[in-house]
Amino acid sequence: MEIVRKNYPEIPVTGSPHFHSVRAGNMLFLAGATAKMTDAEFGNIGEQTDVILKRIQHIMEAEGGTLDNVVKITNFVTDVSAEAKKQTQEIRVRYFGENLPASTRVQVAGLDLPHLKIEIEAIAVFRE
């Protein structure tokens, strides 16, 4: 099985030693993404979620798929309040529609920068 590691020129490389995605066969693993280096970096959790899902959508399209190929996301959040959950869920539904992936929300003490509120990683599956 061929394993392909990739970065995407439209998505900033933040200096961490990893690739944006790793494709192994028909599976695509997306590294955790934040709103770092964007206009939403200092925004609320909903704004940050929007930027992250746009990045994930871009990667999926660059790989010949859509968000419908995403089967699992993990959300690392610094705020587990009902309002923060509502903001992220509204954005997720806007992007995924009725094809929502399995999802896990994990509270973390902090992310790469103190003003970042969410990081999302994803797993996608393509037809063989």
| Mean confidence (pLDDT) of the chain | 94
Q: What integer pLDDT is reported at residue 56 of this predicted model?
A: 97
Is the confidence at residue 7, as pLDDT, over 80?
Answer: yes
CATH of the domain at 10: 3.30.1330.40
Other CB atoms within a 10 A radius of the CB of residue 118 amount to: 28
Task: Pick 40 or 17 by higher pLDDT.
Answer: 40
- Give 127: exposed, middle or buried? Use CB within 10 Å, 0-12, 13-18, 19+: exposed
Counted domains in the chain: 1
Task: Pick 10 or 55 by higher pLDDT.
Answer: 55
Is the confidence at residue 9, as pLDDT, over 80?
Answer: yes
- Per residue in 63-78, pLDDT tens? 999 999 999 999 999 9
Tokens 């992220």 locate to 88
End-to-end CA distance of the chain: 12
CA 39, 117, 97, 10 dihedral sign is positive
Domain assignment of residue 101, given as a range: 3-125
The upper half-sphere exposure of residue 70, i.e. CA atoms within 13 Å in the direction of its Cβ, equals 28
- Per residue in 93-123, pLDDT tens? 999 999 999 999 999 999 989 999 999 999 9
CA 97, 102, 105, 110 dihedral sign is negative
